[in-house]
Amino acid sequence: MSSIAPSAALAFPSRGGRRRDASLIPCAVVKYKGTQMRVQRLSEMIEKKVIEAQEVCAGSGADSHECRVAWDEVEEVSQAKADLRLKLEVENRDPLESFCRENPDTDECRVYDD
Amino acid sequence: MAVCTVHTTQSLNPTCSISKPSSFFGHSPRQLVVLASPGGNSSTIPKRKGGVLKVTCSSGDTIVIGLAADSGCGKSTFMRRLTSVFGGAAEPPKGGNPDSNTLISDTTTVICLDDYHSLDRTGRKEKGVTALDPRANDFDLMYEQVKAIKEGKAVDKPIYNHVTGLLDPPELIKPPKILVIEGLHPMFDPRVRELLDFSIYLDISNEVKFAWKIQRDMAERGHSLESIKASIEARKPDFDAYIDPQKQYADAVIEVLPTQLIPDDNEGKVLRVRLIMKEGVQYFKPVYLFDEGSTISWVPCGRKLTCSYPGIKFAYSPDSYFGHEVSVLEMDGQFDRLDELIYVESHLSNISTKFYGEITQQMLKHSDFPGSNNGTGLFQTIVGLKIRDLFEQITEAKAGASLQAAKA
């Protein structure tokens, strides 16, 4: 720590400083087909479940159980997508790396070609 | 860390099992070589032909931490900071289910409580319950397994797959030194609450939650401001009924609110964070500013320290929270430079650091994590150090007790 000038500016991330396109995941990090499949699947599910929730709530009412469950599903998949994105950004490698080392012959572990 | 001491075979803790050492994936076995002598003086190690036994002593020295948060599992930031304080990086179990929610480091295992869903996504839809509803969760199994791990037994824990929405085949969880159970309901069931050595509730205010979810979701195809708002609103009744009441049981609450330093700020970027610490908790001494138990308002920026807009403001005071006596340490604003951090650290007391600048070092280590420049990162780091301190005190107390038992 003594080698850092005390007045050095800290490179803290600007939280939400610029809106990042959540659908663009660093390509260098998505190595296996399984990861690309998960990214795509979660994106599609978000879109689908938002529409579903809007329809269900319009039909059954905003206070109905069905409406709450529908939006809860949206939350679940949105968080899952965000977790995956965070994993890719922070760890800077494909999360399937260790799994694919043990199971290189599965469909999920085919190397993804953009 | 060795907790078991040299015993005669009769007084050997009955939950220890004698086995051949083998390699456990992802987790180093804790073993102690014990030379057992029948009726001998336990303080001398007798010569004995072939008398070396390998005893696996995971005899209940696991401490259990509960973390309540409404933000999915692998709440990476808090967990990473926590495991980093203990050393080592937490990673998913190697070679197992790639959709596992579990994180394992040398000392710590983090379990996601969604794994105890009794209903999968389809089941919840059929019954008309959200994941927040207790009816979607198997608290009996949660209690049984957390208790078993605490007693030193490995368990086959189910896996809830957030991608497919299904319950996958279980994974083996071996007792670690520190078990963190994280999710929506760590303090909901009173039996599970009893097992917790320390509990934390992450209380995000509605405005901040909305701002964070906008940042999280706006760029996703399908989402809009309306859909994000609608999702939060729809989950609110269940959240208020089942999740929020847990905060009265927490030993520490980290409350995240919009800043008071910028009038009408609605971006949620500058935060006011309050660390609410329960008084009278065993092994936990609340952090304080300057004079314990008094009321302090502190703006560190001035002659000795220059800060950029909007600056930093601290407050500390005793208070009452759901009928309990608490101490509240509060930070509003942002750190901009290293010297601000170290300056603040040098004025805090009871922070359980092992050396001067440890908090600053930990914050710097993860300067790429969200919250590294404000109270969320600071207080998460402090809570991590407090947990380390708690762990060491409990371990020491147990070792002391074993020694007493051996002498008796």
Name the residue type at position B62: T
- Reading the block at residue B288, the tokens are 């304080």
pLDDT digits (tens, 9 = 90+) for B7-17: 333 333 334 44
- Between residues A14 and B95, the one the model is more confident about: B95
Place of tokens 């760590």: B186
What's chain B's average pLDDT?
Answer: 85
For residue B116, give the DSSP letter: G
Global ipTM:
0.81
Any chain B CB within 8 A of the CB of A111?
A: no
pTM of the model: 0.83
Which whole number is the average pLDDT over B263-282? 90
Contacts of B75 in chain A (CB under 8 A): none
> What is the domain partition of chain B in residue ranges?
2-60, 61-201, 251-392
Higher pLDDT, A37 or A5: A37
Cβ <8 Å between B269 and A14: yes
Q: Does A65 touch chain B (CB under 8 A)?
A: yes
Contact B219, B121 (CB under 8 A): no
pLDDT of residue B406: 82
pLDDT digits (tens, 9 = 90+) for B73-94: 765 688 888 888 888 777 888 8
Residue B336: list chain A partners with CB under 8 A: 9-10, 12
Residues of A in contact with B227 (CB under 8 A): 50, 53-54, 74
Over residues B37-66, mean pLDDT = 53
Test B128 with A48 for CB contact under 8 angstroms.
no
Residue A114 has pLDDT above 90, yes or no: no
Q: Under an 8 A CB cutoff, do A10 and B361 touch?
A: no
B119 CB neighbours in chain A (<8 A) are none
CB B79 within 8 A of CB B91: no
Query: Which residues in chain B have Cβ-Cβ distances shorter than 8 Å to A31?
Result: none
A30 and chain B in contact, CB less than 8 A: no
Among candidates A15, A51, A79 on the partner chain, residue whose Cβ is nearest the Cβ of B72: A79
| Yes or no: domain B61-201 corresponds to CATH 1.10.540.10 | no
Residues 6 or more apart in contact with residue B85 via CB below 8 angstroms? B362, B381, B384, B385, B387, B388
Instruction: Mark residue B28 as left, alpha or beta (left: phi above 0; alpha: psi -120 to 50; beta: remaining).
Output: beta
CB pairs under 8 A between A and B: 176
Q: Give the three-class secondary structure for B122.
A: helix
Q: What is the pLDDT of residue B276?
A: 98
The CA distance from A113 to the nearest CA of chain B, in Å, is: 20
Q: Count of residues for chain A? A: 114
Rounded average pLDDT over B176-183: 95
Query: In angstroms, rounded to a whole number, what is the distance separating the alpha carbons of residues B379 and B358?
Result: 13
Distance, CA of B302 to chain centre: 35
pLDDT at position A9: 47
Please state, in angstroms and rounded to a whole number, the distance separating the CA atoms of residues A106 and A98.
Answer: 13
* DSSP H or E run through B52: strand B52-56
Chain B contact set for A43 (CB, 8 A): 220-222
Report the gap between the CA of B223 and the closest CA in chain A (Å): 7
pLDDT of res. B294: 96
> Is 80 exceeded by the pLDDT of residue B49?
no
Question: Is the separation of the CB atoms in B183 and B69 below 8 Å?
Answer: yes
Asked if A80 and B71 come within 8 Å (Cβ–Cβ), the reply is no
Under an 8 A CB cutoff, do A68 and B238 touch?
Answer: yes
Q: Is the pLDDT reported for residue B24 higher than 80?
A: no
Question: Which among A4, A16, A23 is the nearest to B269, CB-wise?
Answer: A16
Residue B355 structure tokens: 């050396």
Residue with the larger pLDDT of the pair B1 and B159: B159
What is the average pLDDT across B36-48? Answer: 41
Q: Is B219 in contact with A95 (Cβ distance < 8 A)?
A: no
Nearest to B370 among A1, A13, A42 (CB): A13
DSSP B77-111: HHHHHHHHHHSS--BPPTTS-TT---EE-SSEEEE
List pLDDT tens digits, range B358-384.
Answer: 999 999 988 888 889 999 999 999 999
The mean pLDDT of B265-278, rounded to a whole number, is 90
Cα–Cα dist A76/B165, whole Å: 9
CB–CB contact A72 B218 (8 Å): no
- State mean pLDDT over B333-359: 94
- Higher-scoring residue by pLDDT: B133, A87: B133
**Mean pLDDT over all residues of chain A?**
78
Average pLDDT of span B213-235? 92
* Residue B388: predicted pLDDT: 95
Residue of A nearest to B269 (CA): A15
Higher pLDDT residue, B73 or A3? B73
* pLDDT of the residue at A27: 53
Q: Is the dihedral of CA B276, B278, B281, B284 positive or negative?
A: positive
The count of other CB atoms within 10 Å of the CB of residue B232 is: 16
A20 contacts in B (CB within 8 Å)?
219
What is the average pLDDT across B390-399?
92
Chain B nearest C-alpha distance from A76 (Å): 7
Whole-number pLDDT of residue B127: 97
- Which two three-digit tokens encode residue B229? 């708002």
User: Which segment of A3-12, A77-86, B76-85, B257-266 scores lowest on mean pLDDT?
Assistant: A3-12
Tens digit of pLDDT for each residue in B153-167? Answer: 999 999 999 999 999
pLDDT band at residue B18, thresholds of 50, 70 and 90? very low
Residue A90 has pLDDT above 60, yes or no: yes
Q: How far is A13 from chain B (nearest CA, A)?
A: 6
- Nearest-angstrom CA–CA distance, A76 and A46: 9
In this prediction, residue B39 carries a pLDDT of 43
Instruction: Round to whole Å and give the CA distance between B227 and B224.
Output: 5
Contact B94 A98 (CB under 8 A): yes
pLDDT digits (tens, 9 = 90+) for A7-60: 444 545 444 434 444 445 555 577 888 899 999 999 999 999 999 999 999 999
Q: Which residues of B touch A69 (CB under 8 A)?
A: 124-125, 128-130
Give the mean model confidence (pLDDT) for residues B64-78: 81
Query: What is the per-residue pLDDT for A87?
Result: 79
pLDDT for residue B2 is more than 80: no
